[in-house]
Amino acid sequence: MEPIPQVEERVRLTSSASGAGQFIRSLTAIIWKDMAAELRSRELLSAMLVFALLVILIFNFALELDAQARATVTAGVLWVTFAFAGTLGLNRSMAMEKDRGCLDGLLLAPVDRSAIYFGKAIGNLIFMLIVEAIVLPVYSVLYSVNLFEPGLLLVIFLGSIGYVAVGTLLSSMAVQTRTRDVLLPILLFPLVIPVLIAAVKGSTGFLQGADVVDIRPWINLLLVYDVIFIAVAFMVFDYIVEE
Amino acid sequence: MMITVRKLIKRFGLKTVLRGMDFSVEPGEFVALLGPNGAGKTTFLRILSSLSRPTIGLVKIAGYSLPNQAAAVRRRLGVVSHLPLLYGDLTAEENLRFYARMYAVAHAENRITDVLEMVGLSSRRRDLVRTFSRGMQQRLAIGRAVLHDPEVMLFDEPHTGLDQDACLMLDTVLREVAARGRTVVMTSHDLARVADLASRFDILSRGVITASVQRSQMDPNNLLAFYRQAIAEA
């Protein structure tokens, strides 16, 4: 049977209604929508920020570290902070889609569903990087540690990509359940262990001035993890969000 | 046929919700799908809208089959459910602008203005959706669904939670959509309301269509008796 043509041509679609043009258009639309909604509500960023700052403050009082110990634990404290604050953000970001059935609205759009995944993932990455950009100077002041090392910032960037790549995929799965707040960390943390180990080792290496040759394997692990999980998410997102 | 469904089965684990359902709709028809709670109405509409995969069976909309040609089907569908599918922290026009980009609507600003006028929300276009009443959100949800001028409209209990005035407004919009030659499938529990709207009534019970009648072949006042008889015989 031949497809039935459009009933009415009054509302036209743009010339790039399919293919790469539409992929980019829908991806940027999702990022814009997340940013605009967050600018109004400030729910997600404020929750992540308050949580992250509280964690580093608590560690500061609890550990009472000398200068040498600080360099050793800094990477661990930072990544614990980023991981927990990131989970809050991932949960909230997907809950926003679920609350008024908006996830269905996204899934009903005639776009490649991987554009939805990448739009949400890039939005989550931006929020995570904003929190990290605020937490790092505060940590620097509280712990008297210089964190503005290009190598360390690269590790934080790569680690955040891996964390968000897996987190966005799992949060879109967890959001379908009643126990989404509990389920996400249970699913996420075992899967991001390689990222967290590589990120902590890489960060510690840069903070302690280790040789780049010694740090490179950890950076390579982060790169490989990022590529693999972005590819996996690209392939399975469609099946995860469909009943 | 605009919609063709043959031997549709949908299972969730061990539970079978749709049991070999057959269903077809001509272009321009307005079909009211009636049935008790748990009959499978929402599941069926979710399959038609490509949000859920059929376990077994053929589903074709405007000549495109599901799930293989889902993107082509979605381009031709407008869906309104009892949830608005709108972002509370965006304004009415921002919501429509977002969906216009997702559906690649050309000359989006003109179209958004037309749609807001159609649903009577022009004066509230710059207000946040979370400040809207339930009725206004539902009207905007209809605006979102018709934004790309779809050939087929699916309404899943759109009157749920609306007050009397909002229901009347919704009915006006539904009539306008139908008058433009769109094919409409609507589920509802409100027999009195759909009796005036639909051109055909199908009764869904225990996962199959048990009865179907054209409005032209029946006095709309007898719809309740027809419905009860169809459910009792299922």
| Measured distance between the N- and C-terminal CA atoms of chain B, rounded to whole angstroms | 26
Distance CA A155, CA A12 (A): 46
Instruction: Specify the higher pLDDT residue, B229 or A163.
Output: A163
Are B87 and A102 an interchain contact pair (Cβ–Cβ within 8 Å)? yes
How large is the ipTM?
0.90
Are B210 and B204 spatial neighbours (Cβ–Cβ below 8 Å)?
Answer: yes
Could you read off the pLDDT of B156-169 as tens digits, one per residue?
998 887 888 778 88
pTM of the model: 0.88
Q: Which of B152, B127, B14, B163 is nearest to B77 (CA)?
A: B152
Residue of A100, A120, A240 to mutate for B, most B C-beta atoms under 10 A: A100
Considering CB atoms only, which of A37, A38, A110 is closest to B71? Answer: A110
Q: Does B27 touch chain A (CB under 8 A)?
A: yes
Q: What is the CA radius of gyration of chain A?
A: 20
pLDDT at A144: 85
Distance CA A90, CA A120 (A): 9
> Which domains does chain B carry?
1-76+152-159+183-234 (3.40.50.300), 79-149 (no CATH)
Instruction: Specify the higher pLDDT residue, B159 or A232.
Output: A232
Beta-strand relationship, B3-12 and B15-25: antiparallel
Are A65 and A73 spatial neighbours (Cβ–Cβ below 8 Å)?
Answer: yes
Distance CA B146, CA B136 (A): 15
Are B131 and B143 spatial neighbours (Cβ–Cβ below 8 Å)?
Answer: no
DSSP for B169-220 reads HHHHHHHHHHHTT-EEEEEES-HHHHHHH-SEEEEEETTEEEEEEEGGGS-G
User: A92-96, B75-79, B218-222: which has the minimum mean pLDDT?
Assistant: B218-222
Could you read off the pLDDT of B3-62 as tens digits, one per residue?
999 999 999 989 999 999 999 999 999 999 999 988 899 999 999 999 999 999 999 999
Our CA-based measurement puts residue B228 at a distance from the nearest CA of chain A, in whole angstroms, of 32
Could you read off the pLDDT of A45-101 as tens digits, one per residue?
999 999 999 999 998 888 777 777 777 888 999 999 999 999 999 998 988 888 878
Q: How would residue A15 be classed by pLDDT, with cut points 50, 70 and 90?
A: low
Q: Is the pLDDT of residue A1 over 60?
A: no
Query: Which two tokens mark A72?
Result: 């050793």
Beta-strand relationship, B77-80 and B200-205: unpaired
Q: How would residue A219 be classed by pLDDT, with cut points 50, 70 and 90?
A: very high
Considering CB atoms only, which of A11, A36, A107 is closest to B90? Answer: A36
pLDDT at B183: 93
Q: B-contacting residues of A 90-119, CB under 8 Å? A: 96, 99-102, 104-112
Between A and B, how many CB-CB pairs are < 8 A?
A: 127
Query: Which two tokens mark A5?
Result: 């043509």
Buried b (16+ CB within 10 A) or exposed e, B137-164: bbbbbbbbbbbbbbbbbbbbbbbeebee
